Amino acid sequence: TGVANGAGLGLLPWPKVDFSKFGEVEEVELSRINKISGANLHRNWVMIPHVTHFDRTDITDLEAFRKEQNKLAEKQKLDVKITPVVFIMKAVAKALEAYPRFNSSISEDGQKLTLKKYINIGVAVDTPNGLVVPVFKNVNKKGIVELSRELMEVSKKARDGKLSGSDMQGGCFTISSLGGIGTTHFTPIVNAPEVAILGVSKSEMMPQWNGKEFEPRLMLPLSLSFDHRVIDGADGARFLSYINGVLADIRRLVM
């Protein structure tokens, strides 16, 4: 199509280069997932005016609690492993309730917003064939253990290539976590027709000033990209600060 090659945007044509003139080359076909997601990402990047906010949240207490719960679960033979992503899902669900504009979609003509009364969160999962985004329904109504079980099952399904179309539909917001791999921050691309996405990077111990001295705290870098047509910078900052507050003190989840 015109847009895919840049013609529809009035851009210069893609450079044509015979790479084999300079050395050995090999051509490989992009995977089906690459092709589908590539076209979606291209549209989203071109059509959505992105803004990304960066922050770090103190997850020292959360991690201590999570590890403690995993030990208890092991003792009780519950066959469940609680990962940090589940707490992030719950914190995001709480933030979406507090800031409903983030739980919306903008109409094609850019004139109206559809505000959703349900909270379904997509979680990007890395598979051998590429990235897929299964959707977890009604996250605000589920507990940590229930969500952990669901995440384990769905991640396995995703890696085995057994996700159905309905498993990936109905999302309101996406979380993309690179925590297990690395990076300090990144700029995730909003997953249309959603209006925001949270990127999670690798946590690290850092010195934090407590008013008297520096103390080592486990800090988690977060990157929030959002559609600037729907959300302004101040609301973006409030939303990210809210998530920070919940992750720094998970007792707020029960409030």
Please give the positions annotated as active site.
172, 228, 232
Non-local (6+) Cβ contacts of 74 within 8 A are none
Q: Can you tell me the distance from the alpha carbon of 27 to that of 249, in angstroms, rounded to the nearest whole number?
A: 50
The CA distances from residue 68 to 32, 72, 196, in Å, are: 41, 6, 32
In DSSP terms, which residues pair with 198 in a beta bridge?
Answer: 175, 224
Measure the CA–CA gap between 229 and 210, rounded to whole angstroms: 38
Residues 6+ apart with CB under 8 A from 237: 53
Query: Tokens 């403690």 map to which residue?
Result: 68
DSSP 123: E
Q: SS3 of 34, please? A: helix
Cis before 188 (ω within 30): no
